[in-house]
Structure 1
Amino acid sequence: MWIHILVFFLTFFMMEFMAWFTHKYVMHGFLWNLHEDHHKKDHDSWFERNDTFFIFYAIVSISFFLLWQNNILELGLAIGLGIFAYGLTYFLVHDIFIHQRFKLFRNANNRYARAVRRAHKMHHKHIGKEKGECFGMLIVPFKYFK
């Protein structure tokens, strides 16, 4: 039981690195065409091409659920739930808290919340795929806490 809880939390925290890596090298790399509309609002739709990235991680998460369900990987449930929990956290922090796609969490104004918003604002100051910074989401460089 304890190993499942440990794997869940390890998976969740590893997803921050995966999000950083994917954002820096995939979204700002060879799949920039899908991510670009997140930096340059050249559309009227509520949906962005960038929203398709959640499908990849949903498929990975579901795959681990299926591996567990079919008795192929005992820790599959813990891994799948860790990926899902990070995805939910990403949605809440990035899409709702930072970008206000739903008008919730507007009054969050503690030190960490301000640092997350500042770091993300610095990321978005670069509208091209080069010269980006702050590719992570939950782990924010200390300079943004000042």
Structure 2
Amino acid sequence: MKNAIHPCLWFNGNAFEAAEFYCSVFSNSRISVNTPMVVNFELNGQKFMGLNGSVEFAFNEAVSFVVECDTQEEIDYFWSKLTAGGSESMCGWLKDKYGVSWQIVPSILGQLMTDTSRSQRVMQAFMQMKKFDIATLLKA
């Protein structure tokens, strides 16, 4: 595709290790190029580049990747895999072991938040959560 856009992630010399990890978490994923400087990989068909940089730059929450999940089982799976060696935050946010920020969210969240009769209750419910709980959101 002409002028395709994809993220380049600056790793601390471990881009290939990170790419292997992400490919193990997401289905339909592969590493297409591995050189000493860069690793190109795809996660669910989305292209990424991993750069073997140094400690000069670090990831922060200004950029995060959103994973929409249809079921609680999917939320539990991605939460478990991506928090291993990383850290949990609030409202579906986490950092993986490489410091990359992720949002693991139920795909139904947008619909719940646009329902004016319940959006405030839904927001109050998820503001108390680390990992999203779909059943709790549906009860709100």
TM-score of Structure 1 vs Structure 2, range by shorter chain:
under 0.3
Higher-helix-fraction structure: 1
TM-score of the aligned structures, taking structure 2 as reference length: 0.27
Structure with higher strand content: 2
RCO higher in structure (CA 8 A, sep ≥6): 1
| TM-score when normalising by structure 1 | 0.26
